[in-house]
Amino acid sequence: MVRTIAFLVGAAFTLVLAIALWGSVSGLISEPPAPTAEEEFHLHPREAHLASDGIFGRFDRRQLQRGFQVYKEVCAACHSLRLVAFRDLAALGYNEPEVKAIANQWVIEQPTINPETGEATTRKNIPSDRFPSPFANEVAARAANNNALPPDLSLMAKARHDGGNYIYSLVGPDAYRPQPAALLREFPDVKTPEGLHYNPYFANLNIAMPPPITSDGQVQYSDGTAATRDQMAKDVAAFLTWTAEPNLEKRHAAGFAAMIFIAIFCVLAWGAYQNVWRDVKH
């Protein structure tokens, strides 16, 4: 008797769930929700065609150095790079004296405490230091950026889908633009608020960051490469891909080694199978 009652209760519960599910699904089919402005006007990132793309990808050291120069001269005024140390720049092709010079000449110094007075002070950076934040704290960062908090860029290429292409598109030459007339006609209530900027590659179309790359030649590359807006966007995207995945080349090499090992193992296993069972008649 108890089992029968339990079965009936379970069957009734299942039936109620099925009816509720069918009601929801049929409602979505018959009356689908209206598309939002973000769904209609958000653009997928453009292809940057970075050297690190794909399973055979490798970093272009010259491009990484150019990207670092763009970060240093354009992005570092607002965005931190707190997971990267100056000495990590050796992987970009800088030698030890150059790394020391970059750390020593970095505009923002390291906060510290004066051992004699106990008061807060600063000191020059050394290679083992991580890149210092441009702001003392979150309150200072928001106060300097219209209450928007500039994100740390160390892992930005991993924090966003299609990270390298996303960064390239977000700061590229066609990123910041006036709102389309079609958007304002269809969604008159989503006009870009004052203090924000329309950017179709950003998730909600409106971003607090002003255009960081504003003109060709904004950075003078030391290797003589023409610093077009597109080139600078591509280079800084490559650099931030490296900060997020500094071991990318090692992972690719380990993956190839593993695949070669598996292929050889399969051939040997097949040969052993043929040798062991060759005299067995079916």
Is 266 flagged in the annotation as binding? Answer: no
CB 223 within 8 A of CB 163: no
As a dihedral over the C-alpha atoms of residue 165, residue 168, residue 169, residue 170, rounded to 10 degrees, the angle is 120
60 alpha-carbon distance from chain centroid: 18
CA–CA distance from 263 to each of 56, 57, 266 (Å)?
18, 22, 5
Cα separation, 173 vs 237, in Å, equals: 13
CB 90 within 8 A of CB 99: yes
Helices of type H across 31-137? 37-41, 61-70, 96-105
Is 75 flagged in the annotation as binding? Answer: yes
- Spatial neighbors of 180 by CB under 8 A, at least 6 apart, are 41
Is 282 flagged in the annotation as binding? Answer: no
In terms of Cβ atoms closer than 10 Å to its own Cβ (0-12, 13-18, 19+), residue 4 is exposed
The one-letter amino acid at 231 = Q
Is 232 flagged in the annotation as binding? Answer: no
Q: List residues forming the annotated binding site for heme c.
A: 75, 78-79, 209
Q: List residues forming the annotated binding site.
A: 75, 78-79, 209
